[in-house]
């Protein structure tokens, strides 16, 4: 069965997100742990969490993906920005244990003139401060489009972070189709080659989730502007190959396309129709 969902607002809690997901034909969802621009997270409501677990069991919701705020920059040159990133991630990962065994995704960061190598070191340093052996969450590094000084524009950069982490068994990768296409990996024309390269550089076992987005910009544009499926440069046929690829088809897929709920429902229905049952 295709595991498919989209990004949802977390403002009304976990049960509400699960119910919303089911109402649009999804069986998973992604959400921000707090305001995407940062700031405080709402207190965990254990009653909401209990209802969410019960509802998820009944409706077959699995593998939810929490997304860290965009403002989190683990490799800023400014120590106070790195401190904020460390505190935010540590708090998020503590809260994640209320929903054990799920996924937490973050943008590795922007090195801003320090160079990618220094960025990689600082990101690994932060992960080494926050990851704990007893944590049940898998922390995902997102593949980035390479706009500005983003770290994670290549599989090698992600591998560099993983290699410097003491608890690297806690780490995985979330592949964003728009980002990798914009970064110069041709998932539309040469999907097999890109998957082989991912496997050679990072190891396919690290791939835990896919952000499924079309791109408003042509191949290798380093832009990061998401488009609705089939309306951009990647195209519907490529998405059909992506969701059915043997190395990908069991993974959870999350839409982050510019849509209202009704648009997400249409894209979910489209992907389900394109999915070949095993």
Footprint of Fe ion on this chain (CB under 5 A)?
A: 142, 176, 211
Q: Does 182 bind Zn ion (CB under 5 A)?
A: no
Residue 214 binds which entry of Fe ion, Zn ion, none, with Cβ cut-offs from 5 to 8 Å by kind?
A: none
Residue 98 designated active-site = no
Residue 37 designated active-site = yes
Residue 199 designated active-site = no
In Å, what is the CA distance from 84 to each residue of 7, 22, 87, 121, 174? 24, 35, 5, 17, 23
| List 7, 14, 34, 67, catalytic entry | 67
Closer to Zn ion by CB, 92 or 224: give it. 224
Residue 91 designated active-site = no
Q: Does 224 bind Zn ion (CB under 5 A)?
A: yes
Residues near Zn ion (CB under 5 A), total: 1
Q: How many beta carbons lie within 10 A of that of residue 121, not counting itself?
A: 17
Residue 126 makes CB contacts below 8 A (sequence gap 6+) with 74, 75, 82, 85, 86, 89
Closer to Fe ion by CB, 65 or 93: give it. 65
Residue 107 designated active-site = yes
Which residues are catalytically annotated?
Answer: 37, 67, 70, 107, 142, 176, 179, 211, 224, 226, 256
Q: What residues make contact with Zn ion under the rule CB under 5 A? A: 224
């Amino acid at each position: 069965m295709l595991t498919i969902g989209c990004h949802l607002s977390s403002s009304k809690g976990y049960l509400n997100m699960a119910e919303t997901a089911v109402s649009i034909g999804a069986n998973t969802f992604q959400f921000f742990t707090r305001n995407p621009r940062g700031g405080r997270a709402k207190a965990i409501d254990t009653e909401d969490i209990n209802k969410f677990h019960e509802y998820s069991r009944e409706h077959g919701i699995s593998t939810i993906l929490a997304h860290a705020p965009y403002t989190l920059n683990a490799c800023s040159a400014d120590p106070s920005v790195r401190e904020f990133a460390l505190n935010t991630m540590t708090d998020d990962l503590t809260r994640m244990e209320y929903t054990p065994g799920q996924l937490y995704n973050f943008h590795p960061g922007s090195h801003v003139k320090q160079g990618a190598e220094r960025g990689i070191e600082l990101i690994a340093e932060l992960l080494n401060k926050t990851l704990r052996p007893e944590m049940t969450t898998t922390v995902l590094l997102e593949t980035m489009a390479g706009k500005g000084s983003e770290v994670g524009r290549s599989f090698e950069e992600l591998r560099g972070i993983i290699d410097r982490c003491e608890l690297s068994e806690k780490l995985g990768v979330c592949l964003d189709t728009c980002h990798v296409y914009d970064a110069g990996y041709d998932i539309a024309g040469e999907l097999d080659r890109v998957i082989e390269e991912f496997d050679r550089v990072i190891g396919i076992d690290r791939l835990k989730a896919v952000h499924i987005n079309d791109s408003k910009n042509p191949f290798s544009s380093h832009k990061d502007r998401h488009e609705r499926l089939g309306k951009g440069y990647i195209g519907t046929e490529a998405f059909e190959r992506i969701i059915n690829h043997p190395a990908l088809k069991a993974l959870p897929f999350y839409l982050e396309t510019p849509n209202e709920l009704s648009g997400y429902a249409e894209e979910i229905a489209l992907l389900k129709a394109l999915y070949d049952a095993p």
